[in-house]
Amino acid sequence: MTVAEQSERYDWGRRYGWLFAAVWLFYLGEPVGALSKHPDPVWRVVGLVAVAAFGVSYLLMVRLASLVRNSPVRTRPFVARAALGIATMLVLFLLQIPGAGAHALSCLVYVAAFGMVALPLPAGITLAAFLATLAEALPGVVPGWRDNGYGLAVLLGSLATWGIRLATLRQNRLVAAQQEISDLAVQNERARIAADLHDILGHSLTVVAVKAELAQRLLDVDVERARKELADLEGLARDALSDVRSTAMGMRGISLPGEIAAAREALAAANVQASLPGAADEVPSRNRELFAWTIREAVTNIVRHSKARHVSVVLAAQSVEIVDDGVGVSSQNGNNGQGLAGLRRRAEALGGKLTVGGRADQPGFRVRVEVPS
C-alpha cells in the first residue's frame, strides 16, 4: 500500500470511524431494558434520557479521539476536553443507577475504552484499572446487585482499545517512515542526476573548449584541419546533449572502453602525450563503470588545470591509476571538489578507496581508485 493510500485510509477512519464505534452501543440495551421495567416513572425517564445522552456523548468523544489517535502526544487542551467528556459520561452513568441498578455498570466499559484511547497512557491505564475494580466490587457490596462479569468486560474493553491505540501508532510511524524513505529516495536521485550532469558536462565542455581553441589557432595555418576540429565540436555538442537527456531520464550509461577512447581524443586535442591501456578485458564488469568515471574525472582535471605534458593510465583488475607531470595538487584540487567528491562516493559504494595527491618523487598529480577483490 502506498503512502497516499494509507493516508487516504486514515482520513476515512478519522471521518467515519465513529460509525464503527456506534455499532457497539447495542450493549446499552441492557440498562435500557432494565429502565423500561422500572416502576418509578421519574427514574425511568431520567435513566432513559441519561442512556441516550451517554450514547451521544460517547460518540462525540470518539469523534474527538479520532483526530489525534495516531499521535503519541496528547496536548493539554485535548486532554482537558477528554477529561470533561469522561466526567460527563460518569455523571450520566450515575443518573442511570437508581433506575437500572447493576445493569448501568455496562456503561463503564465505554468510559474505560475511551479513556485508554484519549488520555495519556499512564492516566488511561489508571482510569481503566479503577473502573474495572469498581465494576467488580460494587455487585458484592450493594444489596440486590448481581455480578454479570462487568469487571472483566471493562478489563477486556480496555485491553482491546489499548491494542488499537498501539496498532494505530505503529501504523502512523510506518507511514511516516515510508514517507521519509520516499523523500530520501527523491533527494538521492536528484543528487545522482546532479553529480552525473556535473561529470558529463564538465568533461564534454572541457573538450569542446580545448578543440575550439585549437580550431581557432588552425584557421590561419591549416583550414582543413580547422574544419575537422569544428566538425568534431559539433559531434561533441550533440553527444553532450544526448548524454544530458539520457541522464535526466535515468538511462545514462558509461563504458570503460568508451572512456579510454574519449580520454585519448581529449588528451590529443590538448596536446598531451598519453600512455593508455589498449583494452579493458581484465577488469571485472562490476568495476568497469567506477573505473570509467575515474578516468573521465581525472582526464577532465588534467585538461583543465594541470598543464601536463605526459599522462599515464594504468589499468588493473582491481585498480586504476592516472598519473600526470603537471603542476600538482593546488591547481587541480581547487575547482574540482564536487567531481572528486562524487568519485569518492562511487568508490565507497563499492567498498573501494579513492586516493588523490601529489607524486612523491617528482612533480605531478596522481588519482588512484582501488576496490577489494
Instruction: Give the domains, in start order, of the chain with CATH numbers.
Output: 3-180 (no CATH), 270-373 (3.30.565.10)
Name the DSSP class of 306. I
Residue 333's Cβ-count burial label (10 Å; 0-12, 13-18, 19+) is middle
Using N-to-C axis directions, what is the helix angle for 41-66 and 107-118, rounded to 10°? 20
Distance of alpha carbon 49 from alpha carbon 41, whole angstroms: 12
Report yes or no: 247 and 197 within 8 Å, Cβ to Cβ.
yes
Classify the phi-psi angles of 203: left when phi > 0, otherwise alpha if psi is within -120 to 50, otherwise beta: alpha
State CA 200 to chain mean position distance: 29
DSSP secondary structure string for all residues of 49-65: HHHHHHHHHHHHHHHHH
pLDDT at 331: 43
pLDDT at 2: 47
Q: What are phi and psi of 315, to 5 degrees?
A: -115, 130
Report yes or no: 115 and 108 within 8 Å, Cβ to Cβ.
no
Cα separation values, 253 from 91, 213, 242, 292, Å: 73, 29, 11, 10
Beta strands 310-315 and 365-370, pairing class: unpaired
pLDDT at 244: 65
Cell triple for 274: 598519453
Look at residues 235, 243, 232 and name the one whose alpha carbon lies nearest to residue 202: 243
Task: Tell me which residue has cell 571485472.
Answer: 284
- Mean pLDDT by runs of 10 across the 373 residues of the chain is 48 60 80 88 92 90 69 74 92 92 90 88 91 90 86 89 82 77 76 67 72 82 82 73 61 72 85 86 82 89 86 92 79 55 87 86 87 86
- Bridge partners of residue 314, in order along the sequence: 321
| H or E element in which residue 357 lies | strand 353-358
- Bridge partners of residue 313, in order along the sequence: 322
pLDDT at 1: 47
pLDDT at 233: 77
Distance of alpha carbon 89 from alpha carbon 109, whole angstroms: 11
| H or E element in which residue 203 lies | helix 150-218
User: Widest CA span of the chain, in angstroms?
Assistant: 122
pLDDT at 192: 66
Look at residues 321, 324, 364, 367 and name the one whose alpha carbon lies nearest to residue 344: 367
Task: Report the chain's terminal Cα–Cα distance, integer Å.
Answer: 40
> Could you give the residue ranges of the DSSP H alpha helices within 71-149?
76-100, 107-118, 121-141
Distance of alpha carbon 145 from alpha carbon 103, whole angstroms: 9
Contacts of 205 (CB under 8 A, 6+ apart): 240
Distance of alpha carbon 144 from alpha carbon 168, whole angstroms: 42
